[in-house]
Structure 1
Amino acid sequence: MALKITVIGTGYLGATHAAAMAELGFEVLGLDVVPEKIELLRRGEVPMYEPGLAELLRRHVAGIEGSTGRLRFTMDYAEAADFGDVHFVCVNTPQKHGEYACDMSYVDAAMESLAVHLTGPALVVGKSTVPVGSADRIAARIRELAPAGEAVELAWNPEFLREGFAVEDTLHPDRIVVGVRGEHAEKVLREVYATPVAEGSPFVVTDFPTAELVKTSANSFLATKISFINAMAEVCEAAGGDVVRLAEALGYDDRIGAKFLRAGIGFGGGCLPKDIRAFMARAGELGADQALTFLREVDSINMRRRGHMVELARDAVGGGSFLGKRVAVLGAAFKPDSDDVRDSPALNVAGQIHLQGGQVTVYDPKGMANARRLFPTLGYADSAEEAVRGADVVLHLTEWREFRELDAEALGAVVGRRVILDGRNALDPERWRGAGWVYRAMGRPAA
Structure 2
Amino acid sequence: MAHRLTVIGTGYLGATHAACMADLGFEVLGVDVDEERIARLAAGELPFYEPGLEPMLRKGVESRRLRFTSSYPEAAEFGDVHFLCVGTPQKAGEYAADLSAVDGAIGTLAPLLRRPCLVVGKSTVPVGTAERLAETLARTAPTGGDAVLVWNPEFLREGFAVHDTLRPDRIVAGLPPDQGAADHAEKALREIYRTMIAAGTPFITCDYPTAELVKVAANAFLATKISFINAMAEVCEAARADVTKLSQALAHDDRIGGRFLGPGLGFGGGCLPKDIRAFMARAGELGADQALTFLREVDEINIRRRIRMVDLARQLLGGSFAGRTVGVLGAAFKPDSDDVRDSPALDVAASIRAQGAKVTVYDPKAMPNARRAQPSLEYGESALTAAENAHVVLLLTEWPEFRDMDPSALAEVVAERNIVDGRNTLDPERWRAAGWNYRALGRP
Q: TM-score, normalised by structure 1?
A: 0.98
2:154 corresponds in structure 1 to 159
Task: Identify the match of residue 143 of structure 1 among 138, 142, 167.
Answer: 138
In structure 2, what is the Cα distance between the partners aligned to 1:29 and 1:117?
A: 16
One-letter amino acid of the counterpart of residue 331, structure 2: A
* Aligned residue number for residue 355 of structure 1: 354
User: 1:111 aligned to 91, 106, 111, which one?
Assistant: 106
Q: Report deviation, 1:362.
A: 0.2
- The residue type equivalent to 1:375 in the other structure is Q
CA distance in 1, matches of 2:82, 2:433: 57
Task: Indicate the residue corresponding to 1:213 in structure 2.
Answer: 213
The residue number in structure 1 matching 2:424 is: 425
- 1:122 corresponds in structure 2 to 117
1:18 partner amino acid: A
How big is each residue's C-alpha offset from its partner over 1:199-242, in whole Å with a ceiling of 9 and x where there is no partner?
11111111100000011000000000000000000000001110
Equivalent runs, 1:191-202 vs 2, <5 Å: 191-202=191-202
Give the Cα–Cα distance (whole angstroms) in 2 for the partners of residues 244 and 168 of structure 1. Answer: 28
Aligned to 1:336: 335
Long gaps (5+) in structure 1:
62-66
Q: Which amino acid aligns with 2:339?
A: D
C-alpha distance in 2, partners of 1:266/1:427? 16
Question: How many Å separate the matches in 2 of 1:150 and 1:215?
Answer: 27
Q: What code does the residue aligned with 1:6 have?
A: T
Q: Secondary structure at the match of 1:73?
A: strand
| Residue aligned with 2:273, SS | helix
Deviation per residue, 1:171-198 (Å, 9 max, x gap): 1111111101211100000001000111
* Cα distance in structure 2, aligned partners of 1:378 and 1:433: 29
Q: Deviations over 1:111-133 (max 9, x none)?
A: 11110100010000000000000
Query: 1:183-194 residue pairs with structure 2 within 5 A?
Result: 183-194=183-194
User: What residue is the counterpart of 1:303 in the other structure?
Assistant: 303
Matched, 1:176 2:175: no
Question: Does 2:43 match 1:43?
Answer: yes
Counterpart CA distance in 1 for 2:280 and 2:233 is 25
- Cα deviation for residue 263 of structure 1 reads 0.9
SS class of match (1:136): helix
Q: Supply the distance in 1 between the matched residues of 2:63 and 2:374 (Cα, whole angstroms).
A: 40
CA distance in 1, matches of 2:432, 2:199: 47
Mapped pair 1:345 → 2:344: yes
Alignment pair present for 1:269 and 2:264: no
Matched-pair identity in %:
68
- What's the CA shift for 1:371? 0.4
Counterpart code for 2:427: D
| Counterpart amino acid of residue 433 in structure 1 | R
* SS of match in other structure, 2:29: strand
| Amino acid in structure 2 at the alignment position of 1:28 | V
CA shift for structure 1 position 313: 0.6
Match of 1:64?
none
| CA distance in 1: counterparts of 2:260 and 2:77, whole angstroms | 44
Distance (whole Å) between structure 2 residues aligned to residue 44 and residue 204 of structure 1: 34
Counterpart of 1:408 in structure 2 is 407
1:233 aligns with 2:233: yes
Residue matched to 2:364: 365
What is the CA deviation profile of residues 37-84 of structure 1, one whole-angstrom value per residue up to 9, with x for unaligned ones?
Answer: 0000011001100111110001111xxxxx321000111101000000
How far residue 407 of structure 1 moved from its aligned partner, in angstroms, is: 0.9
* In 1: Cα distance, 2:146 partner to 2:206 partner: 21
For 2:289, the equivalent position in structure 1 comes to: 289
User: Secondary structure, in 3 states, of the residue corresponding to 1:95?
Assistant: coil
Number of residue pairs the alignment of both structures matches: 439
Does 2:313 align with 1:318? no
**Separation in structure 1 between the aligned mates of residue 50 and residue 362 of structure 2, nearest angstrom:** 19
Of 34, 56, 71 in structure 1, the residue corresponding to residue 66 of structure 2 is 71
Can you give the 5+ residue segments of structure 2 that lack an aligned partner in the other structure? 177-181
- 1:116 match: secondary structure: helix
Give CA-to-partner distance per residue, 1:347-376, whole Å, 9 cap, x none: 000000000001000000000000000100
Aligned equivalent of 2:91: 96
Aligned-residue CA RMSD in angstroms? 0.6
Counterpart in the other structure of 1:16: 16
- Cα distance in 2 for partners of 1:191, 1:341 equals 36
Tell me the amino acid that sits aligned with residue 358 of structure 1.
Answer: A
TM-score under structure 2 length normalisation: 0.98
What amino acid sits opposite 1:4 in the alignment? R
Distance 2:108 2:405 in 1: 50
Q: Quick one: distance in 2 between partners of 1:387 and 1:3?
A: 51
User: Which 4+ runs in 1 deviate beyond 3 A?
Assistant: none
Equivalent-residue separation in structure 2 for 1:39 and 1:304 (angstroms): 41
The answer for the alignment partner of 2:435 in structure 1 is 436
Question: Deviation at 1:260?
Answer: 1.1
Measured after TM superposition, the shift of residue 381 of structure 1 is 0.1
Distance 1:309 1:163 in 2: 24
Taking the aligned partners of 1:257 and 1:2, their CA distance within structure 2 comes to: 41
Q: Give the corresponding residue for 2:179.
A: none
